[in-house]
């Protein structure tokens, strides 16, 4: 199953530029992906033809805007095989989706001495909301470790989940190591203990077929901007029964049924969780991103990224003094490839590589617990998407050879 990157690249206007006199090589897709012309056009079309506030109006533009907004909900539900569009709540990003669940479900169900189980691999978005919840409610956080290859220690995780566990949360795919966690297996562990299971899917929904029914999780969070869609739109999926039972997150317009002096009643889900005027234009344009990915096919996206990742792991391993952090088996990993180079700081690596027109990321990648576990302050990270080609990995390798020439090579560090 192969995809036509030549044709795909034609759809992404931003890719056709030079940076420092070299063709842009964009390998920072785990941070955010580029947008195809159809998404940009959908945004412009919305503002030029349909802009109106939604739900309240009965004039033609309001009806059109409402239909498009709600149509995106239906498409997103279908994209992740959610049983009902009402299970899709639009937020600002993955971070807000996770905070929403921590504030609402968490504040109601988590009590003094209860335990929340997560892992040291998690992004800060899936750590800090639980730390805040634990502080508010007097709960305890327990972190599962990763092994030296960068896989989650499943046996350790199993032993951390006890009858005291109220909630288990885990990333589906790592933004640093690339590791894909066995979500359905973890769902069984969590449910056997009667715990709620929340999945941070920010790095999986954009890159591989995700079916919430098959995964068996209760809650799933992801961001549109990491899957060819606009910034400012996040998704929280949860079973509608769970959403019905949860208290609201933000109060205000749109989320109420009746307001009286002594109190209010709430709108039906998902509107109960979408207070105020939402990010209508970007939600509408998100639909074009979902269409775009569906037209390629998520199986094909995954196969393409597997091939690119295998090529990258192979080529990077030829660079002296370079250490790759994370699994080497592409069946169990996505396309985020982190590495360190003896002597060179990741920020210096990024700066030199940028002079070759190659965009990669350097830093702790919002994963300071994992950095500590890896024993490094930061890593460099290349991450791939549908428009990347092997020739761009060659450009990265060539740029890294330049880094090596500048910094010399003082031997290889040990992995993880």
Q: Of the listed 117, 161, 366, 395, which one is catalytic? A: 366
77, 195, 202, 330: which one binds ligand PMP (CB under 6 A)? 202
If the CB atoms of residues 126 and 340 are measured against ligand PMP, the closer one turns out to be 126
If the CB atoms of residues 66 and 93 are measured against ligand PMP, the closer one turns out to be 93
Q: Which SS3 state, helix, strand or coil, does residue 117 take?
A: strand
Phi-psi region of 396 (alpha: psi -120 to 50; beta: other; left: phi over 0): alpha
Select the span of 88-96, 259-267, 274-282, 372-380 touching ligand PMP (CB under 6 A): 88-96
Which of 190, 214, 113, 202 minimizes the C-alpha distance to 383?
Answer: 202
Select the span of 57-65, 120-128, 183-191, 383-391 touching ligand PMP (CB under 6 A): 120-128
Beta strands at 256-260 and 263-266: parallel, antiparallel or unpaired: antiparallel
The reply on whether position 93 binds ligand PMP by CB under 6 A is yes
Contact between 343 and 351 (Cβ < 8 Å): no
If the CB atoms of residues 30 and 80 are measured against ligand PMP, the closer one turns out to be 30
Q: Binding marks (x or -) toward ligand PMP, 166..185, rule CB under 6 A?
A: -----x---x----------
Would you state the torsion angle of the CA atoms of residues 382, 388, 392, 396, taken in this order, to the nearest 10 degrees?
0
Which of 184, 180, 238, 168 minimizes the C-alpha distance to 205?
Answer: 180
Q: Binding marks (x or -) toward ligand PMP, 359..378, rule CB under 6 A?
A: -------x------------
Contacts by 309-313 with C-beta closer than 8 Å and gap 24+?
Answer: 309/178, 309/333, 309/334, 309/335, 309/337, 309/384, 311/390, 311/393, 312/337, 312/382, 312/384, 312/393, 312/396, 313/337
User: Is 217 part of the annotated catalytic residue set?
Assistant: no
34, 169, 179, 223: which one binds ligand PMP (CB under 6 A)? 223
75, 103, 123, 333: which one binds ligand PMP (CB under 6 A)? 123
Q: What one-character-per-residue DSSP string does 177-213 give?
A: S-BBP-HHHHHHHHHHTT-EEEEE-TTTTTTS---HH
If the CB atoms of residues 234 and 357 are measured against ligand PMP, the closer one turns out to be 234
Q: Which token pair is 387?
A: 């428009």
Residues numbered 142 to 161 that lie near ligand PMP (CB under 6 A) are none
What are the percentages of helix, strand and coil residues in the chain, rounded to 5? Answer: 45, 20, 40
Select the span of 91-99, 238-246, 290-298, 345-353 touching ligand PMP (CB under 6 A): 91-99
If the CB atoms of residues 180 and 319 are measured against ligand PMP, the closer one turns out to be 180
Select the span of 4-12, 36-44, 72-80, 118-126 touching ligand PMP (CB under 6 A): 118-126
Smallest distance, ligand PMP to C-beta of residue 146, A: 14
Q: Binding marks (x or -) toward ligand PMP, 297..336, rule CB under 6 A?
A: ----------------------------------------
Q: Which SS3 state, helix, strand or coil, does residue 52 take?
A: coil
315 vs 319: CA distance, rounded Å? 8
Select the span of 71-79, 199-207, 212-220, 249-257 touching ligand PMP (CB under 6 A): 199-207
206 vs 235: CA distance, rounded Å? 12
Contact between 69 and 280 (Cβ < 8 Å): yes
If the CB atoms of residues 202 and 281 are measured against ligand PMP, the closer one turns out to be 202
Cα 361 to its chain centre, rounded Å, is 16
Q: Which residues bind to ligand PMP, rule: CB under 6 A? A: 30, 93-95, 123, 125-126, 171, 175, 200, 202-203, 223, 366
Q: Residues with catalytic annotation? A: 366
């Amino acid at each position: 199953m192969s995809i036509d990157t030549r044709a795909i690249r034609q759809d992404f206007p931003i890719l056709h530029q030079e940076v420092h006199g070299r063709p842009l090589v964009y390998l920072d897709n785990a941070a955010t992906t580029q947008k195809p012309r159809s998404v940009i056009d959908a945004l412009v079309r919305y503002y030029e033809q349909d802009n109106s506030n939604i739900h309240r109006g009965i004039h033609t533009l309001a009806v059109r805007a409402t239909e498009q907004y709600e149509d995106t909900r239906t498409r997103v539900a279908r994209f992740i095989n959610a049983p009902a569009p009402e299970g899709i709540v639009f937020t600002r990003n993955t971070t807000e989706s996770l905070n929403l669940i921590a504030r609402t479900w968490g504040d109601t169900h988590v009590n003094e001495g209860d335990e929340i189980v997560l892992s040291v691999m998690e992004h800060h978005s899936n750590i800090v909301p639980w730390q805040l919840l634990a502080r508010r409610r007097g709960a305890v956080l327990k972190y599962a470790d990763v092994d030296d290859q960068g896989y989650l220690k499943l046996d350790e995780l199993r032993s951390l989940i006890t009858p005291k566990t109220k909630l288990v949360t885990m990333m589906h795919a790592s933004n640093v190591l690339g590791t894909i966690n066995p979500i359905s297996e973890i769902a069984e562990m969590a449910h056997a203990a009667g715990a709620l299971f929340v999945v941070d899917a920010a790095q999986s929904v954009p890159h591989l077929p995700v079916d919430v029914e098959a995964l068996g999780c209760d809650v799933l969070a992801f961001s549109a901007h990491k899957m060819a869609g606009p910034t400012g739109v996040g998704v929280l999926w949860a079973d509608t029964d769970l959403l019905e039972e949860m208290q609201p997150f933000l109060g205000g317009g749109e989320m109420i049924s009746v307001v009286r002096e002594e109190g209010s009643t709430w709108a039906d889900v998902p509107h109960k969780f979408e207070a105020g005027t939402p990010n209508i234009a970007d939600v509408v344009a998100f639909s074009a991103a979902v269409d775009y990915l569906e037209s390629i096919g998520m199986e094909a996206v995954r196969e393409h990224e597997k091939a690119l990742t295998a090529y990258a792991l192979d080529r990077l391993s030829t660079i002296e003094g370079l250490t790759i952090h994370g699994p080497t088996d592409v069946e169990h990993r996505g396309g985020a490839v982190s590495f360190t180079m003896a002597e060179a700081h990741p920020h210096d690596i990024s700066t030199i590589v940028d002079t070759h027109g190659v965009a990669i990321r350097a830093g702790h990648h919002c994963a300071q617990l994992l950095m500590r576990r890896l024993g490094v302050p930061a890593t460099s990270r290349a991450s791939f998407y549908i428009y990347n080609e092997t020739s761009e990995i060659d450009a990265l390798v060539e740029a890294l050879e330049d880094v090596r020439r500048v910094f010399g090579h003082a031997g290889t560090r040990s992995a993880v």
